[in-house]
Amino acid sequence: MCRAGLFVLCLLCILPIVLGVSWQQQTSISASLQRPRHLSLDVYGRGYHQDDVLEHFSTSDGAVSPCWNIKNTRIGSFQVNDPMVKVTFFRSNDCASTPAAVFRGSKSNVLKMRARSVSVQKIRSVGML
């Protein structure tokens, strides 16, 4: 555990010197190193994450853009463990129809919407393109 943290710290210090990157690019590199490998989505029935979690979705294989069917169609709010994502809600199962709503970011406090499936897509930072 300690060696992995030390490796990342050394990498963050040495990588900008070797590559000759700017401060903005350094922050995007460090943000990409801190991003979680597995996506996790919590769906709540009321706004501001007040209720218990209605459904908890997560990827086990590190999928980039998973699609999940939602059992409870009334959604009040959601939260994702990665801040750089695009969350798309659909009115039909299997993310097959036109999107009902699209959100960029890791959480939304008040939705009050109905959806039957949700897709979460990781977004690359501008510095990593």
- 46 and 65 inside one domain: yes
CB 40 within 8 A of CB 106: no
Q: How many angstroms separate the CA atoms of 39 and 35, rounded? A: 10
**Distances from the Cα of 35 to the Cα of 20, 23, 100, angstroms:** 23, 19, 27
Q: Give pLDDT, residue 73.
A: 84
Residue 8 lies inside a defined structural domain of this protein: yes
Tell me, yes or no, if the pTM score tops 0.85. Answer: no
Q: How many angstroms separate the CA atoms of 89 and 80, rounded? A: 13
pLDDT of 49 > 60? The answer is yes
Percent above pLDDT 90 for the chain: 26
CB 53 within 8 A of CB 79: no
- 28 and 64 inside one domain: no
**Distances from the Cα of 102 to the Cα of 29, 34, 85, 87, angstroms:** 26, 24, 11, 6
- 18 and 45 inside one domain: no
Q: Give pLDDT, residue 92.
A: 93
pLDDT of 45 > 60? The answer is yes
CB 42 within 8 A of CB 87: no
Domain range enclosing 68? 40-123
